[in-house]
A and B are shown apart, each in its own frame.
Chain A
């Protein structure tokens, strides 16, 4: 089912535990003591970067095979090409749909990497900015969750369940985190009122984004999953005992 073996998970958990328990509180403390005026944005961005580190480190340590690298690169490139194909329609983007398909077909780790890479690389074409780590994290985590849920059997490859998950994940996970990030970017004093205002002003954008994900999943999920499965069988990317 997933092309990587799962021994990366223990290591990732350890790394993540170290980061969450030691490095993140230290960063917050340093921010509180030294950077009085701009702590929210700087600290939140650092934390976002920390959360992505375990994925990168585990992936590097594992020494992935060439075919695995290529599959991830191909899917990320398709997502970026899709994003640039629809550049004239704001928020109407197939990126989340492709990331979810990657997570379902190739596993949680590959889902995260495809999402984060798609976010990073598309900004080489659209311009890097303070929003880059947030987008990388949001796309990545959606792919990761899709992979995990599929592995646990909570998400199936049917259209209905994929569309449902895609719409909800885009609206709540992507919209929820990106709006928080833009609030930190524009204001320094956190207040619930301002957060609510940010969510309200972003409502329609998130809605369009979620809707576009549902539409793209409805249309491309079946052909794309078919193709990826076919390639996995044809080139022997399935490990023995993985097939459910």
Chain B
């Protein structure tokens, strides 16, 4: 399906992901972690479907278990001693819980990054940063284009070399390696010469002159403005929550959770809304479509 969160202005999506990744990196309170994990997981499933589910259960779940076990093996802080290892070091409840919390945090971060990779395509990134770092974002877009092109070119060269018996699949090991290096060397020459031609062509078409435009054009409309306001408000509440210590948690030497108050409830509510924002936007869009369809 079409992801309507990805249809927003790139400035919005980029700041959203920066904000979410920073939050999930900073907050270890179990309630906040659970909120972020649910938000990141549901959005990644929404964006990538069954692939995200498979990824989560094949890679992330075992990673969570391994990290939870690894931490108490190296970390012996904490007052609640469960048992002693053979080396004489204690295994504490605190270090196990810390391991779980760190693992959940890491997985949440990976999930947010996987959503980021799907939503923030490179043209959006270049659109956003083209004004701030024009030279570097131009280099960036060129590298992104060059890589698939070079892989194609390497294939073309090695096919041509195969005709005269100088491919990487021909001859003994030594001549194979030599052929490989030769192909790479031809590739380098081609890439450099070709690049210089591109540079000349860029110059003759006015590279470096003011008023450059981008490939993709995004318009910052009223909806983006409203959503930016909502996101800013929610993020500000969450930020205030982090600063005032409402969502903090202490693991060592003993576990101490910040108490649940009206203020902390408000912070969690804001964080939950923020984490679910992409899913909410998508659901609302789907509902709108349904309503329009049923009217017809």
Q: Do A and B come from one complex?
A: yes
- Closest chain-B Cβ to A185's Cβ sits at a distance in Å of 7
Which residues in chain A, 176-224, are within 8 Å of chain B measured between CB atoms?
185-189, 191, 193-194, 197, 219-220, 223-224
Q: Indicate whether A100 reaches chain B with its CB closer than 8 angstroms.
A: no
Compute how far the CA of A8 lies from the CA of B122 in the bound complex, rounded to whole angstroms.
29
A38 touches B195 (CB 8 A): no
Which residues in chain B, 187-216, are within 8 Å of chain A measured between CB atoms?
187-189, 191-193, 195-196, 198-200, 202-203, 207-208
Give the size range of B's interface with the partner.
Answer: 35 or more
- Residue of B71, B117, B185, B187 touching A128 (CB-CB under 8 A): B117
Residues from chain A with a CB closer than 8 A to the CB of B14 are none
B139 touches A223 (CB 8 A): no
* Stretch of B5-13, B217-225, B245-253, B288-296 on the interface side: B245-253
Identify the closest chain B residue to A80 (Cβ).
B147
Which residues in chain B, 118-140, are within 8 Å of chain A measured between CB atoms?
122, 133-136, 138-140
- Closest chain-A Cβ to B63's Cβ sits at a distance in Å of 10
A70 touches B198 (CB 8 A): yes
Take A35-B242, A69-B142 as given contacts and tell me if A59 and B207 are in contact as well, using a CB distance cutoff of 8 Å.
Answer: no
B150 touches A70 (CB 8 A): no
Which residues in chain A, 17-74, are within 8 Å of chain B measured between CB atoms?
34-38, 41-42, 45, 56, 59-60, 63-67, 69-74
B252 touches A189 (CB 8 A): yes
Q: Indicate whether B243 reaches chain A with its CB closer than 8 angstroms.
A: yes
Take A60-B136, A130-B109 as given contacts and tell me if A187 and B147 are in contact as well, using a CB distance cutoff of 8 Å.
Answer: no
* A113, A130, A193 interface centre (most CB from chain B within 10 Å): A130
Identify the closest chain A residue to B189 (Cβ).
A227
B106 touches A60 (CB 8 A): no
Residues from chain A with a CB closer than 8 A to the CB of B81 are none
B208 touches A189 (CB 8 A): no
Residues from chain B with a CB closer than 8 A to the CB of A84 are 147, 151
Residues from chain A with a CB closer than 8 A to the CB of B22 are 42
- Residue of B25, B106, B192 touching A42 (CB-CB under 8 A): B25
Compute how far the CA of A94 lies from the CA of B203 in the bound complex, rounded to whole angstroms.
32
Compute how far the CA of A227 lies from the CA of B192 in the bound complex, rounded to whole angstroms.
8
B116 touches A128 (CB 8 A): yes
Take A187-B74, A224-B188 as given contacts and tell me if A69 and B135 are in contact as well, using a CB distance cutoff of 8 Å.
Answer: yes
B203 touches A66 (CB 8 A): yes
A74 touches B207 (CB 8 A): no
B25 touches A186 (CB 8 A): no
Identify the closest chain B residue to A30 (Cβ).
B243
A67 touches B150 (CB 8 A): no
Identify the closest chain B residue to A74 (Cβ).
B195
Residues from chain B with a CB closer than 8 A to the CB of A81 are 146-147, 150-151, 154
Q: Indicate whether A148 reaches chain B with its CB closer than 8 angstroms.
A: no
Q: Indicate whether B28 reaches chain A with its CB closer than 8 angstroms.
A: yes
- Closest chain-A Cβ to B110's Cβ sits at a distance in Å of 6
B74 touches A193 (CB 8 A): yes
What does the 1/0 interface line of B153-168 toward A look like (CB < 8 Å)? 0100000000000000
Residues from chain A with a CB closer than 8 A to the CB of B198 are 70
Compute how far the CA of A91 lies from the CA of B138 in the bound complex, rounded to whole angstroms.
29
Compute how far the CA of A117 lies from the CA of B142 in the bound complex, rounded to whole angstroms.
11
Residues from chain B with a CB closer than 8 A to the CB of A231 are 192-193, 196
Residues from chain A with a CB closer than 8 A to the CB of B139 are 69, 72-73, 76, 113, 117
- Closest chain-B Cβ to A182's Cβ sits at a distance in Å of 11
Compute how far the CA of A203 lies from the CA of B1 in the bound complex, rounded to whole angstroms.
45
Q: Indicate whether B102 reaches chain A with its CB closer than 8 angstroms.
A: yes
B110 touches A129 (CB 8 A): yes
A77 touches B74 (CB 8 A): no
A70 touches B140 (CB 8 A): no
A74 touches B192 (CB 8 A): yes
* B105, B139, B151, B181 interface centre (most CB from chain A within 10 Å): B139
- Residue of A37, A76, A187 touching B28 (CB-CB under 8 A): A37
Compute how far the CA of A65 lies from the CA of B252 in the bound complex, rounded to whole angstroms.
55
- Residue of B113, B192, B248 touching A37 (CB-CB under 8 A): B248
In addition to A56-B133, A187-B75, 10 A-B residue pairs with Cβ atoms within 8 Å of each other are A34-B242, A36-B250, A41-B25, A69-B135, A76-B143, A77-B150, A85-B151, A127-B114, A189-B77, A219-B177
Query: What 4 pairs between A and B have smallest CB-CB spacing?
Result: A77-B146, A73-B142, A223-B185, A70-B195
Cβ contacts A to B, 22 pairs, < 8 Å: A36-B250, A37-B248, A37-B249, A38-B26, A59-B135, A60-B133, A66-B200, A66-B202, A66-B208, A67-B199, A67-B200, A74-B146, A78-B150, A84-B147, A117-B136, A121-B147, A127-B113, A128-B117, A129-B109, A188-B98, A189-B75, A194-B74
